[in-house]
């Protein structure tokens, strides 16, 4: 599937729009249209239903106390700045970036790739002992990078395309070279070397201010994740609810990251929505719970239609782990904008140990210590003090007190929607009104996720068919999101619904008037069956639940 086709469909049918498009748009921000908002809401509701309201205790780890509780929170986007200092985000939540002095553009250091090249002399020229090499960069995807590098190298040496054989390439496409060689680097949007600055840290948190006076004391940050709101409310949940360890706290909400180079449609955005769980458990049971959530979350995606070679579960290598993690696995999807064989992260499941609760009790923890200790300055004082509140847990049965370990399944709602869109997009053939096979675009969403569950059509706008169709439509809309359409040939109406992923189309025709039945057409199989008018609601409900 070509990504351009999906992007075009998303705008044409009202799934996604560029934010502020009439003013030229703003990079890294996207608006969900009428169908997109329904799809995203269905994804979030399926997650909440399956993980919080109807979580599966039958597959919990052996020996785990059952039943375990799952509760929810909805925390503020702006929190006390000390939250981010103790959590480590203030100091550690950074990307390395480079600036171009000529183009005035900024790039993520780890996303700029390139290749060393030199120029072979003409046949009439004396060959130099050591031809000068330059590192030509590109921001193109790997599949188009070779052609882009050649074009940029020709521009560097002021050559026409017919002289491309004089380019001498050294090695493969690699990351930017060391700082010492930046003078020979040709930046992504320029034709002369030496315009890139040395890499420097760039904090990804978006800054804001509260109150009437704008100064350092009024500075706050838009949250880069929803998790910290859960950790700082851990004691409030314990004191106000009847939950006992093990239990989980879930939250769905907006987060913000000041990405240097947002790209790949909604995959990497500056404003996005997360679906996160912080699951608190006994330290000696944490590995079992980590495996439980890792496997449960992977199974959730497969149950909703992401399956096969495009979905994988990958455990992190030890050198990939965050300083607080003793184990992390990523659920990854082979998005079509990635090079063949590469995967993008859908969700991370992390074993966070007691890092978060301890940091908010004691202060910022030193990632260079094992076990983690509070980070001290040169005067022996904590770099960032914690709240001083007791965030430990007392087991009422044993009177044992401990700091719970945390397992965190953290999913991106927007990335999940994008993956479901990519997986659903299908091109096949279906018969038209005359039985002739024609190409069609169909979004094969799982019925739970489909923005519209059913569409109702009168075959013609006469003979009382519209009145019967509207009565069926009114009955269905009490239970599902449905659509009514009486314009155009019925075959065209089918195509419109196929393209937005509606699982079932219900048509009122001549037999409805004489026999009291309608046809229900299946989006995927194209099978049409006749059902009594009074049974339509139950039939659609039954089909959607299977």
Domain boundary among 146, 172, 202: 202
Can you tell me the distance from the alpha carbon of 249 to that of 268, in angstroms, rounded to the nearest whole number? Answer: 26
Can you tell me the distance from the alpha carbon of 499 to that of 6, in angstroms, rounded to the nearest whole number? Answer: 11
* Both structure tokens of 367: 């990632």
Q: Is residue 132 part of a domain?
A: yes
Please report which confidence band the pLDDT of residue 336 belongs to, taking 50, 70 and 90 as the band edges: very high
Please report which confidence band the pLDDT of residue 436 belongs to, taking 50, 70 and 90 as the band edges: confident
Mean pLDDT of 159-178: 91
Same domain, 171 and 65: no
Domain boundary among 420, 436, 468: 420
Mean pLDDT of 273-288: 96
Task: Please write down the long-range contacts of 468-475, taking CB distance under 8 Å and 24 or more positions apart.
Answer: 468/508, 468/512, 468/513, 468/533, 469/506, 469/508, 472/506, 472/508, 472/518, 472/533, 472/536, 475/536, 475/537
Q: Read off the CATH number of the domain in which 472 is found.
A: 3.40.50.800
Q: Which of 77-86, 266-275, 330-339, 372-381 has the lowest mean pLDDT?
A: 372-381
User: In the prediction, which pLDDT does 325 show?
Assistant: 66
Same domain, 209 and 290: yes
Q: How many domains does the chain have?
A: 3
Which has more pLDDT, 217 or 281?
281
Can you tell me the distance from the alpha carbon of 81 to that of 90, in angstroms, rounded to the nearest whole number? Answer: 9
Q: Is residue 437 part of a domain?
A: no
Q: Is residue 425 part of a domain?
A: no
User: In the prediction, which pLDDT does 354 show?
Assistant: 94
Q: Is residue 264 part of a domain?
A: yes
Q: Is residue 96's pLDDT more than 90?
A: no
Q: Is residue 438 part of a domain?
A: no
What are the helix (H) ranges across 384-435? 413-424
* Alpha-carbon separation of residue 230 from 69, 74, 224, 249, 294 (angstroms): 15, 9, 13, 7, 20
Span 238-269, pLDDT tens digits: 999 989 999 999 999 999 998 877 888 999 99
Please report which confidence band the pLDDT of residue 33 belongs to, taking 50, 70 and 90 as the band edges: very high
User: In the prediction, which pLDDT does 471 show?
Assistant: 97
Find out whether 61 and 292 touch, Cβ atoms under 8 Å: yes
Please report which confidence band the pLDDT of residue 322 belongs to, taking 50, 70 and 90 as the band edges: low
Q: What is the pTM of this model?
A: 0.85
Span 226-237, pLDDT tens digits: 999 999 999 999
User: In the prediction, which pLDDT does 391 show?
Assistant: 95
Same domain, 138 and 259: no
Q: How far is CA 69 from the centre of its chain?
A: 27
Same domain, 494 and 540: yes
User: In the prediction, which pLDDT does 196 show?
Assistant: 94
Q: Is residue 441 part of a domain?
A: no
Same domain, 325 and 408: yes
Beta-carbon count within 10 A of 22 CB: 6
Domain boundary among 396, 420, 444: 420
Q: Read off the CATH number of the domain in which 259 is found.
A: 3.30.930.10
Report whether the peptide linkage leading into residue 188 is cis, meaning its omega lies within 30 degrees of zero. no
Mean pLDDT of 172-177: 90
Same domain, 104 and 34: no
Same domain, 171 and 241: no
Same domain, 264 and 388: yes
Please report which confidence band the pLDDT of residue 381 belongs to, taking 50, 70 and 90 as the band edges: confident
Mean pLDDT of 318-340: 83
Q: Is residue 426 part of a domain?
A: no
Q: What domain range is 503 assigned to?
A: 452-545
Same domain, 251 and 321: yes
Can you tell me the distance from the alpha carbon of 481 to that of 458, in angstroms, rounded to the nearest whole number? Answer: 18
User: In the prediction, which pLDDT does 228 show?
Assistant: 96
Mean pLDDT of 484-492: 93
Can you tell me the distance from the alpha carbon of 514 to that of 465, in angstroms, rounded to the nearest whole number? Answer: 11
Can you tell me the distance from the alpha carbon of 267 to that of 264, in angstroms, rounded to the nearest whole number? Answer: 5
Q: Is residue 326's pLDDT more than 80?
A: no
Same domain, 367 and 515: no
Do β-strands 271-281 and 247-256 pair in parallel, antiparallel, or remain unpaired? antiparallel
Same domain, 47 and 191: no
Q: Is residue 447 part of a domain?
A: no
Same domain, 388 and 288: yes
User: In the prediction, which pLDDT does 431 show?
Assistant: 73
């Amino acid at each position: 599937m070509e990504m351009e086709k999906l992007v075009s469909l998303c705008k044409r049918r009202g799934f996604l729009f560029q934010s502020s498009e009439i003013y030229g748009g703003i990079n890294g921000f996207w608006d969900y249209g009428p169908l997109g908002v329904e799809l995203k809401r269905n994804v979030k509701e399926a997650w909440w239903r399956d993980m919080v309201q109807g979580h599966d205790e039958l597959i919990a780890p052996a020996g785990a106390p059952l039943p375990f509780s799952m509760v929810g929170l909805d925390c503020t986007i702006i929190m006390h700045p000390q939250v981010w200092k103790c959590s480590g985000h203030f100091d550690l939540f950074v990307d390395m970036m480079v600036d171009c002095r000529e183009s005035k553009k900024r790039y993520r250091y780890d996303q700029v790739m390139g290749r060393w090249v030199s120029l072979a002399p003409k046949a009439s020229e004396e060959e130099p002992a050591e031809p000068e090499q330059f590192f030509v960069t590109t921001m193109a995807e790997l599949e188009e990078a070779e052609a882009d590098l050649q074009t940029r190298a020709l521009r560097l040496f002021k050559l026409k395309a017919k002289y491309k054989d004089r380019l001498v390439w050294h090695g493969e496409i690699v990351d930017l070279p060391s700082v010492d060689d930046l003078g020979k680097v040709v930046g992504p949007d320029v034709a002369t070397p030496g315009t890139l600055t040395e890499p420097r840290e760039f904090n990804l948190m978006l800054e804001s201010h509260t109150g009437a006076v704008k100064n350092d004391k009024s500075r706050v940050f838009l949250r880069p994740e929803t998790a910290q709101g859960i950790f700082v409310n851990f004691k409030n949940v314990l004191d106000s609810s009847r939950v006992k360890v093990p239990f989980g706290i879930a939250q769905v909400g907006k987060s913000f990251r000041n990405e240097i180079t947002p790209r790949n449609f909604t995959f990497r955005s500056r404003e996005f929505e997360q679906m996160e769980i912080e699951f608190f458990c006994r330290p000696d049971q944490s590995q079992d719970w980590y495996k439980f959530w890792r496997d449960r979350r992977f199974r959730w995606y497969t149950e909703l239609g992401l399956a096969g070679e495009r979905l994988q579960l990958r455990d992190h290598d030890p050198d990939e782990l965050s300083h607080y993690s003793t184990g992390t696995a990523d659920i990854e999807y082979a998005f079509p904008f990635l090079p063949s064989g590469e995967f993008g992260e859908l969700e991370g499941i992390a074993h966070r140990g007691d890092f978060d609760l301890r940091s908010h009790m004691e202060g910022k923890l030193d990632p260079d210590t094992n076990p983690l200790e509070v980070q001290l300055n040169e005067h022996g004082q904590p770099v960032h003090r914690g709240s001083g509140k007791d965030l430990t847990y007392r087991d009422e049965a044993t009177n044992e007190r401990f700091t719970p370990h945390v397992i965190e399944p953290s999913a991106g709602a927007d990335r999940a929607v994008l993956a479901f869109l990519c997986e659903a997009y299908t091109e096949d053939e279906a018969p038209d009104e005359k039985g002739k096979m024609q190409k069609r675009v169909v979004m094969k969403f799982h019925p739970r996720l489909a923005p519209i569950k059913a569409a109702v059509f009168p075959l013609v706008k006469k003979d009382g068919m519209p009145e019967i169709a509207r009565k069926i439509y009114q009955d269905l809309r009490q239970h599902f999101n449905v659509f009514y359409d009486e314009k155009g040939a019925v075959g065209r109406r089918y195509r419109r619904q196929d393209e937005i992923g509606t699982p079932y189309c219900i048509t009122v025709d001549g037999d409805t008037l004489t026999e009291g039945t309608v046809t229900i057409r299946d989006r995927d199989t194209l099978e049409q069956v006749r059902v009594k008018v009074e049974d339509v609601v139950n039939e659609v409900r039954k089909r959607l639940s299977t």
